Amino acid sequence: MLKKIDESTNVITWFEIPVTDIHRAKTFYETILDIRMIRRTDGDDEAVFFPHDPNVIQATSGRVTGVLSKTARNRPCDHGTMIYINASPDLQTVVDKVEKAGGKIIVPRMAIPAGFIAVIIDSEGNKIGLHAEK
C-alpha cells in the first residue's frame, strides 16, 4: 500500500552540503546570501546551520533548511544531486557576490517558468543551484 503524502508539505525536509573548510564555507554562504549561520561541533564532525526557526518542526511545516557539514563520511562534489538555495529577493544580487567570495558561476542567471536560476560552484567545489522569483 502506498503512503499518502500530505501535499501541503515539501518532499524534501533537510539537506547537507559537504565542506572541507567549515570557516571558508560559512563565510562564502553568509557573504553571498547576506545571512548569519550558526556553527555547532560534535566530536570531529562540524556543522553550520542555515537560518531556521528551531520552534518549527521541519517535517510538518513544509519549511526546508540544512547545514554545511564537515565529516569524514562526506566530501564536496560537482556532480550528482543538486539542490537549489533560495536567493530571494533578487538572484543577480547573489550571483554578483559569488566570484568575489571564492566561488565560480557555471550557469549565469537565466529565466525559467518558476522565476530565475543560476548554477555555481561554491568555495568547497559543490555544484549548487540558486533560485529567486526575480
Would you state the CATH architecture of domain 14-132? Answer: Roll (3.10)
- Residue 56: DSSP 8-state: S
Does residue 66 have a pLDDT over 80? Answer: yes
- The whole-number pLDDT of residue 42 equals 78
Quickly tell me which residue has 566530501 as its cell: 75
- Domain layout of the chain by residue ranges: 14-132
> Which cell goes with 22?
567549515
pLDDT tens digits for 20-50? 999 999 999 999 999 999 988 877 789 999 9
Does residue 69 have a pLDDT over 90? Answer: yes
The mean pLDDT value for 80-95 works out to 95
CA distance 104 to 123: 8
List, as own/partner pairs, every contact residues 89-98 make where C-beta atoms lie below 8 angstroms and the sequence separation is at least 24, other chains included. Answer: 89/132, 89/133, 89/134, 90/132, 90/134, 91/115, 91/116, 91/117, 91/118, 91/130, 91/131, 91/132, 91/134, 94/32, 94/33, 94/118, 94/130, 94/132, 95/120, 95/130, 97/31, 97/32, 98/32
- The whole-number pLDDT of residue 7 equals 65
